[in-house]
């Protein structure tokens, strides 16, 4: 979770540098439909992590809330793409008992932490599983970025999610062509 917060902070900083305070203001003026759904989905994930008995219901709740949010905001293509990324993660987690599989070998190589296969990483969404033990292992956490191997192990869904959020922030902070024209004409 730390790394996603940092990614968002970097994206916001980068686009603010690119588009200035006008871009930031455009983002602040954006109105989400169903804005309460993502915080509730995040809360459901916390419940799923803290109460193992509720893991699958919490995951289903998360999926439903995130998909509803992305559909309600489908005018923003970035949010639709982000929803697809979240769905990829949720599908593989649901197929693995509500947990995201990560290879013990990659955890050792990336973080220097030895983990036993089958062990759930405490207070996280991850479970250590080799590829032949996991369902849909190709959608699990298995991608390590060169030079950033010690930071995180990513899934395909994580990249699609970040790409969607990046597109949303870019298109919102840049403003539409029509808005730019209106602004120019007003000046």
Q: Which stretch binds another protein (CB under 8 A): 106-114, 129-137, 179-187?
A: 106-114
> In Å, how far from its chain's centre is CA 177?
28
Nearer to another protein among residue 6 and residue 181 (C-beta): 6
Q: Please identify which residue in 17, 53, 75, 112 interacts with another protein, judged by CB under 8 A.
A: 112
DSSP codes of every residue in 100-125: EEE-HHHHHHHH-----TTPBPTTSS
- Is 129 a binding residue for another protein by CB under 8 A? The answer is no
Q: Which stretch binds another protein (CB under 8 A): 130-138, 150-158, 177-185?
A: 150-158
Q: HSE on the CB side for 105, CA within 13 Å?
A: 5
Q: Are 83 and 164 in contact (CB under 8 A)?
A: yes
- Is 165 a binding residue for another protein by CB under 8 A? The answer is yes
Local structure of 126: helix, strand or coil: strand
CA–CA gap between residue 88 and residue 85 (Å, rounded): 5
Which run of H or E residues covers position 17? helix 2-29
Q: Please identify which residue in 1, 13, 50, 179 interacts with another protein, judged by CB under 8 A.
A: 1
The mark string for 20-59 relative to another protein (x by CB under 8 A, - otherwise) is -------xx-x-x--x--xx-xx-xx--------------
Please report the sign of the dihedral spanned by the C-alpha atoms of residue 44, residue 48, residue 53, residue 59. Answer: positive
Residues forming contacts to another protein in the complex (CB under 8 A) are 1-5, 7-8, 12, 27-28, 30, 32, 35, 38-39, 41-42, 44-45, 62, 65-66, 69, 79, 82-83, 85-86, 89-90, 93, 100, 102, 104, 107, 110-116, 119, 121-126, 141, 150-155, 157-158, 161-162, 165, 168-169
């Amino acid at each position: 979770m730390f790394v996603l917060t940092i990614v968002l902070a970097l994206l916001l900083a980068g686009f603010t540098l690119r588009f200035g305070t006008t871009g930031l203001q455009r983002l602040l003026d954006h109105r989400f439909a169903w804005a309460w759904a993502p915080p509730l989905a995040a809360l459901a994930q916390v419940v799923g992590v803290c109460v193992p008995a509720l893991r699958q219901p919490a995951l289903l709740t998360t999926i439903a809330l995130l998909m509803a949010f992305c559909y309600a905001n489908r005018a923003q293509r970035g949010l639709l793409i982000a929803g697809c990324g979240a769905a990829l993660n949720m599908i593989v987690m649901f197929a693995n008992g509500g947990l995201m599989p990560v290879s013990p070998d990659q955890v050792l190589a990336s973080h220097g932490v030895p983990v036993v296969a089958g062990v759930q990483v405490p207070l996280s969404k991850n479970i250590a599983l080799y590829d032949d033990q996991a369902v849909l292992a190709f959608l699990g956490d298995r991608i390590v970025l060169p030079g950033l191997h010690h930071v995180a192990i990513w899934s395909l869904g994580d990249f699609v999610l970040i790409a969607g959020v990046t597109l949303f922030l870019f298109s919102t902070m840049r403003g539409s062509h029509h808005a730019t024209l209106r602004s120019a004409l007003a000046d």
